C-alpha cells in the first residue's frame, strides 16, 4: 500500500496507539494524518517549518496549558526551529509550542533537531540536537529534566566555578557554555551568547561568578546558585570579537575585557544582582591598548595591575586606571594566550 502526499523527504512516521491512524512529517513543512484502515489521507496540517522528527503521544496526556486531554491524535514534532510543538492532528489544532528551548534554531534551512524519542514510562521527550546534545523534557511541564552533552569539538577555554570548585565551565566551538557538575559530570547549557564563546574567567573573591566573552562582541556575567546558573549582567560596547576576559581577584568590583578591536575595557560591576533581569554593564574606561588584536589579559592578585598580550608582539602592563606602567617588545613570536 502506498501513501502519496508529501513533496519532500519524509523524515518521521508514527502510529497512533489505537491502530486506526498514523502520522507522517516531512521537510515540506506539513504533517499528514492518515487513515490506516482505508489507506487514505485525512488531513494535511501546515506547520511552517521543515520537520526532522515526530513522536506519537498517548491517548490521554497532560501538557502545559492542557490537563487530562483525551479523544485526539496527539503528536510532538520538531525541526529547524529547534522547538517542540504538540498537535492534535485529529482536530488540526496546535496545543503547545516551546518558548524557551535548549536547542538553538537553525538558519537557512539547516538542521537544529535531528531526532525525537518518547519514554512512555517516565513521560519524557528526548530531543537530539544537531550540535550533539540530548535534552530530556518532562511531558507535563515541558521543562528540561536532564541534559547530556556530546561532541565538544575544540575546547577554547575552561574554568572552575562554584563553592569548592563544584562545577567546571567549558567554552567550545559553540554559543552555549557547558557547565559540568564536577562530582558526577552532569551538564547544563548556559545560553545567551549569539556566537562562539571563546574566553572564561572566575574570581577567588566570589567563586560563584563566571565571566564570558564571545565572538558576538559581548561579555556576560553568570551567577551560580544552588547548582543552577543564570546570566545577571551583559556588556555590549566592543566592536569586534572579545578575545580575553578577566574578573578582578581581590574583590568582584570590575571586569576587564580585551578585543580584536584593539581596545581594553574596564567594566564596573554592581554590588548586588537582580535575579529577575540582566543588568546592562557600563564601562569605566576604554583605551586603545595595542596596534593589533589583543589575545590575553590578566589582573594582579591585588587588582592594581593589568597585563595584556597582543598580535603586535608586545606585552603591556597597566594600572587599574588603564594608564600604562611599562611595555615589552623583545618578543620573537606573537603573544597568544
Asked if residue 153 has pLDDT above 80, the reply is no
Same domain (yes/no): 130, 159:
no
Same domain (yes/no): 93, 169:
no
Q: Where a domain ends, among 149, 168, 197?
A: 149
Same domain (yes/no): 18, 83:
yes
Q: Where a domain ends, among 87, 120, 149?
A: 149
Same domain (yes/no): 83, 161:
no
Quick one: pLDDT at residue 111?
A: 78
Same domain (yes/no): 159, 131:
no
Chain segment 13-38, per-residue pLDDT in tens: 999 887 889 999 999 999 999 998 88
Chain segment 251-305, per-residue pLDDT in tens: 999 999 999 999 999 999 998 888 888 999 999 888 888 889 999 999 999 988 8
CB 72 within 8 A of CB 90: yes
Quick one: pLDDT at residue 80?
A: 92
**Reported confidence tier of residue 39, pLDDT bands at 50, 70, 90:** confident
Does residue 3 lie within any of the structural domains?
Answer: no
Q: Which CATH number goes with the domain that contains 19? A: 2.130.10.10
First to last CA, the chain: 63
Give the number of other CB atoms < 10 A from CB of residue 252.
Answer: 22
Q: Which residues pair with 77 in a beta bridge?
A: 54, 85
Same domain (yes/no): 225, 287:
yes
Chain segment 210-225, per-residue pLDDT in tens: 999 999 999 999 999 8
Q: How far apart are CA 144 and CA 124, in angstroms?
A: 9
Domain count of the fold of the chain: 2
Does residue 66 lie within any of the structural domains?
Answer: yes
Does residue 1 lie within any of the structural domains?
Answer: no
Does residue 333 lie within any of the structural domains?
Answer: no
Cell reading at 240: 569586534
Dihedral of CA atoms 31, 37, 39, 44 in degrees, nearest 10, equals: -20
Same domain (yes/no): 38, 101:
yes
Same domain (yes/no): 139, 211:
no
DSSP string, 175-213: SSEEEEETTT--EEEE---SS-EEEEEE-SS-TTEEEEE
CB 179 within 8 A of CB 189: yes
Does residue 29 lie within any of the structural domains?
Answer: yes
Chain segment 229-239, per-residue pLDDT in tens: 899 999 999 99
Quick one: pLDDT at residue 334?
A: 40
Owning domain of residue 118: 10-149
CB 57 within 8 A of CB 74: yes
Same domain (yes/no): 174, 262:
yes
- Burial (0-12, 13-18, 19+ Cβ within 10 Å), 297: buried
CB 260 within 8 A of CB 244: no
Chain segment 87-110, per-residue pLDDT in tens: 999 999 999 999 888 887 777 667
Same domain (yes/no): 125, 184:
no
Does residue 319 lie within any of the structural domains?
Answer: yes
Task: Report pTM.
Answer: 0.74
Same domain (yes/no): 206, 246:
yes
Mean pLDDT of 172-190: 89
Does residue 187 lie within any of the structural domains?
Answer: yes
* Mean of per-residue pLDDT scores for the chain: 88
Q: Where a domain ends, among 149, 171, 186?
A: 149
CB 266 within 8 A of CB 255: yes
Does residue 169 lie within any of the structural domains?
Answer: yes
Same domain (yes/no): 117, 162:
no
Amino acid at each position: 500500500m502506498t501513501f502519496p502526499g508529501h513533496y519532500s523527504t519524509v523524515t518521521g512516521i508514527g502510529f497512533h496507539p489505537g491502530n486506526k491512524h498514523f502520522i507522517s512529517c516531512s521537510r515540506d513543512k506539513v504533517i499528514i494524518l492518515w487513515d490506516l484502515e482505508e489507506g487514505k489521507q485525512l488531513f494535511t496540517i501546515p506547520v511552517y517549518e521543515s520537520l526532522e522528527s515526530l513522536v506519537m503521544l498517548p491517548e490521554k496526556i497532560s501538557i502545559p496549558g492542557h490537563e487530562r486531554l483525551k479523544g485526539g491524535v496527539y503528536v510532538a514534532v520538531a525541526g529547524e526551529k529547534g522547538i517542540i510543538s504538540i498537535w492534535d492532528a485529529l482536530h488540526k489544532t496546535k496545543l503547545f509550542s516551546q518558548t524557551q528551548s535548549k536547542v538553538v534554531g537553525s538558519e537557512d534551512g539547516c538542521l537544529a533537531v535531528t531526532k525525537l524519542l518518547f519514554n512512555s514510562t517516565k513521560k519524557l521527550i528526548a530531543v537530539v540536537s544537531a550540535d550533539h546534545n540530548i535534552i530530556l523534557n518532562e511531558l507535563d511541564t515541558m521543562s528540561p529534566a536532564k541534559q547530556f552533552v556530546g561532541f565538544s569539538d575544540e575546547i577554547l577555554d575552561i574554568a572552575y566555578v562554584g563553592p569548592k570548585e563544584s562545577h567546571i565551565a567549558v567554552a567550545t566551538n559553540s554559543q552555549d557554555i557547558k557547565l559540568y557538575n564536577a562530582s558526577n559530570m552532569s551538564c547544563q547549557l548556559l545560553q545567551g551568547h549569539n556566537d562562539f564563546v571563546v574566553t572564561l574567567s572566575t574570581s577567588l573573591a566570589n567563586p560563584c561568578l563566571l565571566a564570558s566573552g564571545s565572538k558576538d562582541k559581548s561579555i556576560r556575567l553568570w551567577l551560580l546558585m544552588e547548582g543552577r546558573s543564570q546570566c545577571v549582567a551583559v556588556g555590549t560596547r566592543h566592536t569586534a570579537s572579545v578575545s580575553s576576559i578577566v574578573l578582578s581577584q581581590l574583590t568582584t568590583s570590575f571586569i576587564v575585557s580585551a578585543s580584536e578591536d584593539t581596545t581594553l575595557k574596564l567594566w564596573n560591576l554592581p554590588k548586588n544582582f537582580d535575579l529577575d533581569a540582566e543588568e546592562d554593564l557600563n564601562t569605566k574606561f576604554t583605551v586603545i591598548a595595542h596596534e593589533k588584536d589583543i589575545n590575553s589579559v590578566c589582573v594582579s592578585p591585588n587588582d592594581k595591575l593589568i597585563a595584556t598580550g597582543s598580535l603586535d608582539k608586545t606585552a603591556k602592563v597597566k594600572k587599574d586606571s588603564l594608564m600604562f606602567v611599562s611595555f615589552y617588545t623583545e618578543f620573537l613570536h606573537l603573544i597568544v594566550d
